[in-house]
Amino acid sequence: MAIDKRITGGRVVTPTGVHDLDVLVSDGRIAGLVTPETGASIDAEVIDASGLTVLPGMVDVHVHTREPGYTHKEDITTTGIQAAVGGVTTIFGMPNLEPPTTNLETLTEVLDLYREKSIVDYNHNPAPTQLGDIQAMSDAGIRAFKIYMVVDTGRTYPHPAGTGMHDHGHLLEMMDLIAPTGKRFIIHPHDQSLMDYIEGKFLARGENTPQGYAQAYAARDGVIWDTAIDVILRLAEASNCPIHIAHMQTRRSIDAVRRAKARGVDVTCEVNHWALFLSTWDDVEKLGPYALSYWVPDDHRAAVWEGLLDGTIDVYSSDHAPHTREEKEIGWTQMWSAHTGTPGIQFLYPLLLDAVAAGRIPLDRAVDAAAYRPAQKFGLGGVKGAIEPGCDADLVLAAFDDPWVITDDQVLSRCGWTPYNGRTSSVRIDSTMLRGEFIFRDGEVVGKTGQALMATPR
């Protein structure tokens, strides 16, 4: 086997721990891990990682590329550029597009767009609302389906028609059809009938503000999330459908997932950057619509961190959800008309690694949540998410103890802003490799469109 590259001098994070090893790359894959003394005798291009930490590229299973249909917010190429800069090497797109990806035809069209325009490897999570196409979409190589248990109030986006399902019978029917495919079913939890009642009270009082919106979605100690997640877990148990719960943010729902796992339910769940780093009441007061997504009260945020640390929360993903300033500004006085969600993929890994540097989470658990476990749970084990022989050489070289300030000027999203403007990270992404080739190096994105591949098992 001819060795193409040897990454030497760095501390390498593998599934077994952190080691001072050289990483050998052959034909886009990791060929071996050897001691520096052994590596020194191998004839290959040498990449000096001295002083850097070598990590697996992130596998982000929750990304809104906005293409097709909403490219004034973002597109596949700009999403990939941000991913490369942020150390994300595989993205899973979401179905809330125009047209929404709900059948084989629209899924095929989206996959063709990725093939043409992405600079990072990809997959896509279609909505299984057209039941007759579930098997065909599964056969097309997807790793998961996605549904929203929500209908927007006062707006038609970000949850357009065709991507939502909150009738429990229909939800169970979807699970029954997805279960034989073996694919995971990503569910945005939401108790629509409770939310209709709760937000109606806020709107009747004229509290159509960021503060009112934040309080409504967190009302009654997070009841809209908890009841929805209880239903999801019970239906998953009844159908034997592998599920993945998005947006974990309450103490009770984390406990419910923990108990379900102990019973043997095949459930994974995720936390997004905003729940860890952008969900305080102070953020809501200062940033208003730019901080929402959702408010996570302090006791719930503590439970989220605990769930992430003990592995109950499996996955750390971006929920990258860019909107224009105009679509956000209306939220200061009409929050229920604003588009909710925040951009995140560019700064996702640095924020988590900064938490590692601050002692909030061990490095191995951070990498497990960001790369290894999403790959394992979404059927890409042995291909993505780990620095071990046979895996794709998707590598990130990170500089710890290298403080820098996040600013709007650095934002590569079409939206042009970040809620983290002014925040400091002590960890910087030095460079990113996709299948053994640099896509970000020396401060420049050098990856090209048309070179990305669909992430599938081998």
Q: What is the DSSP string of 171-189?
A: HHHHHHHHGGGT-EEEEE-
- Choose among 129, 113, 46, 39: nearest CA to 79: 113
CATH architecture for the domain at 5-54+391-445:
Roll (2.30)
Q: What pLDDT is attached to residue 151?
A: 72
pLDDT of 157 strictly over 90: no
Q: Tell me how far apart the alpha carbons of residues 2 and 203 are, in angstroms, rounded to a whole number.
A: 66
Q: Are strands 144-148 and 184-188 parallel, antiparallel or unpaired?
A: parallel
Tens-digit pLDDT profile for residues 164-205: 888 999 999 999 999 999 999 999 999 999 999 999 999 999
Give me the mean pLDDT over the 16-43 stretch: 93
pTM of the shown model: 0.97
% of the chain residues with pLDDT over 70: 98
pLDDT of 13 strictly over 80: yes
- Indicate where the chain has its CATH 3.20.20.140 domain(s): 58-377
Residue with tokens 């750390």: 316
Is the CB of residue 155 less than 8 Å from the CB of residue 336? yes
Q: How confident is the model at residue 334 (pLDDT cuts 50, 70, 90)?
A: very high
Q: Tell me how far apart the alpha carbons of residues 31 and 392 are, in angstroms, rounded to a whole number.
A: 9
Tens-digit pLDDT profile for residues 209-235: 999 999 999 999 999 999 999 999 999
Lowest mean pLDDT among 40-44, 133-137, 221-225, 364-368: 40-44
Helices (H) and strands (E) in the chain, counts: 16, 21
Q: How confident is the model at residue 156 (pLDDT cuts 50, 70, 90)?
A: low
Is the CB of residue 424 less than 8 Å from the CB of residue 406? yes
Burial (CB < 10 A; 0-12, 13-18, 19+), residue 156, is exposed
Is the CB of residue 270 less than 8 Å from the CB of residue 246? yes
The count of other CB atoms within 10 Å of the CB of residue 365 is 17
- Indicate where the chain has its CATH 2.30.40.10 domain(s): 5-54+391-445
Q: What pLDDT is attached to residue 25?
A: 98
CATH class of 58-377: alpha beta
Give me the mean pLDDT over the 279-288 stretch: 98
C-alpha of 17 from chain center: 23
DSSP string, 151-164: --SS-S-SS-TTSB
**Segment holding 62, helix H or strand E:** strand 58-63
Residues present in the chain in total = 458
Q: What pLDDT is attached to residue 154?
A: 62
